[in-house]
Structure 1
Amino acid sequence: MSGLRYLDHAATSPVRPEVLEAMVPYLTRVFGNPSSHHTAGEAAADALADARVRVAQVLGMRPGDVVFTAGGTEANNLAVKGIVLAARAQGRRHLVTTPIEHESILESADYLRRFHDVETTLVPVDDTGRIAPTDLRDALRPDTALISFGHANNEVGTIQEVPALAAVAAVAGVPVHVDAVQSAGWLPIAGLGADAISIAGHKVGAPKGIGVLAVRGRVPLEPLLHGGGQERGRRSGTENVAGAVGMAMALEIADAEREEARSRVGAETARFIAGVRESVPSARLTGAPAGDRLPGAASFTFAGVSGEAVLLELERRGVVSSSGSACAAGSDDPSHVLLALGIAPEDALTSVRFTVGREGLPGDAPERLAALVGEAVAAVAS
């Protein structure tokens, strides 16, 4: 990445040196299987238990609530499928989510519809991507098994008022799953009122391939992976001990830096947004305004030009960004998130997403990058 400015942290962030250092012993000399009843296995089990305690503390959960997974997608699948499938025994076959969720939630809902006769209600969002508590309340039924939504949207950065939505769910006695993959390390996670929380290591400075679903013990959960009964029977398979250690370290560091990073990066991103609007008068910022969006998120549509062409021009100028979710591999369709916000399909195809990491945009980088965006859009339009 030498010579390039990376502005796609919503897709993935680099591994922090401190995290890599913490993981190395569990990739080398402490290599035992944590399920093995001998000294090597017990050393690995101790590290796994310690990581579980540390993750639980940041998330405001109990250590026994923490299930280590292979990433955010698996955590979301386990939450949506696992909780709804367990609730079917009580005759509850209704799932509530929104049309702007990550594909791992929406595709899980579709799987439940096709194979388990589960009905899904998509609660509408406003033109910034916010859910109204009254709309959520109206969507609930006596047989609702779960409410699942993202804390912050992965494309436009809009933040949901989780406590207000969780209060609606609590009155109805319905568990809430919050996808906190994008918000972890940027926003407070503990105290949201959620019954289940998903996070992914590679968004907070840990490697790809490690994630967490924290689900309160009172919520029944049907496992998706069966085998040796690891993770208290909720996710079988030999645990990724090094990944769990890295997740704990990365989450603690990000949480400790959260307030400072949020203020600093938010101010720098605001300068970048202002610069883009000045350089490209047709630019439309999508999602919620500052204060109701992730501090490093800036997603625009550029009417009349191809978003993909703008990305290519930006990379020629040393700027790496994206046209939306990196998880929608190979799709040429307009973003389902932007369509749900009421943006016309032809305009949605012009979108470009910039997401800043915790290192921010120092010095005059916001203005210089905004000028490069202006150059790229002008080159495509000419």
Structure 2
Amino acid sequence: MTDKSYVYLDYAASAPLRPCAMEAWMGYHKKPHSVANPNSLHTLGRTAARELEGAHRTLARCIGYGFRPNEVILTSGGTESNNLAVLGMAEGARRKSANKRTRVVLSAIEHDSVLDVASILRSRGFEVVLARPGRDGVVSAEEVASHVDETTALVSVMAANNETGVIQPTATIIKVAHAAGALAHVDAVQAFGRIDLDCADADAVSVAAHKIGGPLGAGAVAMRTRCPFDAQSLGGGQEMGRRPGTQDVAGAVAFAAAAEQVCRELPSVRPQVEALANHIYERICAPGTGIIPTTVAHVDQTRLPGMVSVMVPSMDSESLVLKLDDAGFEVSAGSACSSGSLDPSHVLSAMGIARDEALGSLRVSFDERATLEELDAFCDALLAIVSSN
């Protein structure tokens, strides 16, 4: 690494750590009880446990919708949160139904941490079906309903897509699942702290710290106590027995600090960040630039604020990312979890986007900490790269 400065615009992969989270993490480690296991009975252990309980309370309040502190299961991040919820809830629903519910419905645009669970579910005797999106990137409740029946154990859908930013109709999809007696899980990893979640009746909601400026390696699943669930790991009785293992109290405290800030500031931050994203779309997708939006859903209220998803049919994503990196701008080709692949994004393919267009996809993501000057400089660099190609 040289002394060259970079403008980081890949917040959807991992957002920069917020000062409040850093202060909470550092502050915890300066306390005498930071050395203690929060499950120990001695004074330091009980003190650590109280801090852990405080983090549970804060996260439950920020997620909202009546989730109680003891219903927040701490995990190592979004991937574990999704793995745990989908596997554990599917198994729990099947057991409760005396093996009558053996179908799991996922959307075809889910994150790999959900879709890759499909093979495990099938190996355990489940039928897994995928609900497909329209060209607009939306998985409709009607499409989900066409796959749901009395054998369905679980429906899992994301609150907003991590590549296109398109917000999904979670509330109506949850109603479809419940009407058939199935459980409903919402992957809100990308949406939490960026929009008001529409998860009032969800049985479980997954979130992660590093997407909102919290620490890497911290996540959670808010899951109703009434929700049938089979733990996927064995050990102690931590997290109400649903996720055994000694908890990372410092990580939980830092996660809670970041969540509290982003949720408190959301009403004022969202329109500010939406305006910045709209400005980028107007500049780089102007007629004659050769850059097109991934979907028509690039206006306020239909996509995540601070996420710009475009395609450059004349170029491939890898070249674009590397050229922008050389120019000092850090962006992503769709999902960072699948970077390095020369295949089109599974999300764009599911939407019916042509291969030559999908191979030139680009995702730019940020929050209120990005400046207009930085974003304009990015636009200048991208337009120059595309025009010289």
TM-score range, shorter chain: over 0.9
2:36 is matched with: 32
Identity of aligned residues (%): 38
1:218 is matched with: 226
| 1:69 paired to 2:79 | no
Tell me, in whole angstroms, the C-alpha distance in 2 between the residues paired with 1:317 and 1:272.
Answer: 17
Query: Is the 2:7–2:374 contact (alpha carbons within 8 Å) kept by the matching residues of 1?
Result: no
| 1:325 paired to 2:304 | no
Query: Is the 1:279–1:373 contact (alpha carbons within 8 Å) kept by the matching residues of 2?
Result: no
245, 248, 255: which one aligns with 2:253: 245
2:23 corresponds to which letter in structure 1? E
Tell me, in whole angstroms, the C-alpha distance in 2 between the residues paired with 1:272 and 1:366.
Answer: 7
Deviates more, 1:129-138 or 1:155-164: 129-138
Q: Report the alpha carbon displacement of residue 166 of structure 1 after superposing the two structures with TM.
A: 1.7
| 1:336 paired to 2:361 | no
Q: Report the alpha carbon displacement of residue 191 of structure 1 after superposing the two structures with TM.
A: 4.8
Q: Report the alpha carbon displacement of residue 365 of structure 1 after superposing the two structures with TM.
A: 4.0
| 1:372 paired to 2:378 | no
1:48 is matched with: 52
1:14 corresponds to which letter in structure 2? P
1:134 is matched with: 142
Q: Report the alpha carbon displacement of residue 229 of structure 1 after superposing the two structures with TM.
A: 1.5
Tell me, in whole angstroms, the C-alpha distance in 2 between the residues paired with 1:14 and 1:277.
Answer: 27
Deviates more, 1:369-378 or 1:209-218: 369-378
Tell me, in whole angstroms, the C-alpha distance in 1 between the residues paired with 2:279 and 2:27.
Answer: 42
Q: Report the alpha carbon displacement of residue 18 of structure 1 after superposing the two structures with TM.
A: 1.2
| 1:5 paired to 2:12 | no
Tell me, in whole angstroms, the C-alpha distance in 1 between the residues paired with 2:169 and 2:121.
Answer: 27
Tell me, in whole angstroms, the C-alpha distance in 2 between the residues paired with 1:232 and 1:367.
Answer: 49
| 1:82 paired to 2:88 | yes
**What CA deviation, in whole Å up to 9, does each residue of 1:26-47 have, x standing for no partner?**
3343221011110111111000
Tell me, in whole angstroms, the C-alpha distance in 2 between the residues paired with 1:28 and 1:84.
Answer: 41
Q: Report the alpha carbon displacement of residue 73 of structure 1 after superposing the two structures with TM.
A: 0.1
The answer for unaligned runs of 5 or more in structure 1 is none
1:299 is matched with: 309
Q: Secondary structure at the match of 1:203?
A: coil
Deviates more, 1:68-77 or 1:242-251: 242-251
Q: Report the alpha carbon displacement of residue 139 of structure 1 after superposing the two structures with TM.
A: 1.0
| 1:310 paired to 2:316 | no
Q: Report the alpha carbon displacement of residue 280 of structure 1 after superposing the two structures with TM.
A: 5.5
CA pair 190-131 structure 1, distance change in 2 beyond 3 A: closer
Tell me, in whole angstroms, the C-alpha distance in 1 between the residues paired with 2:57 and 2:45.
Answer: 19
| 1:109 paired to 2:149 | no
CA RMSD of aligned residues (A): 1.6
Q: Report the alpha carbon displacement of residue 190 of structure 1 after superposing the two structures with TM.
A: 6.6
1:273 corresponds to which letter in structure 2? Y
Q: Report the alpha carbon displacement of residue 57 of structure 1 after superposing the two structures with TM.
A: 0.9
Query: Is the 2:133–2:139 contact (alpha carbons within 8 Å) kept by the matching residues of 1?
Result: yes
Deviates more, 1:345-354 or 1:247-256: 345-354
Q: Secondary structure at the match of 2:172?
A: helix
The answer for unaligned runs of 5 or more in structure 2 is none
Query: Is the 1:166–1:176 contact (alpha carbons within 8 Å) kept by the matching residues of 2?
Result: yes
1:188 is matched with: 196
2:187 corresponds to which letter in structure 1? D
Q: Secondary structure at the match of 1:239?
A: coil
354, 363, 367: which one aligns with 1:353: 363
CA pair 140-190 structure 1, distance change in 2 beyond 3 A: closer
Q: Report the alpha carbon displacement of residue 162 of structure 1 after superposing the two structures with TM.
A: 1.5
1:200 is matched with: 208
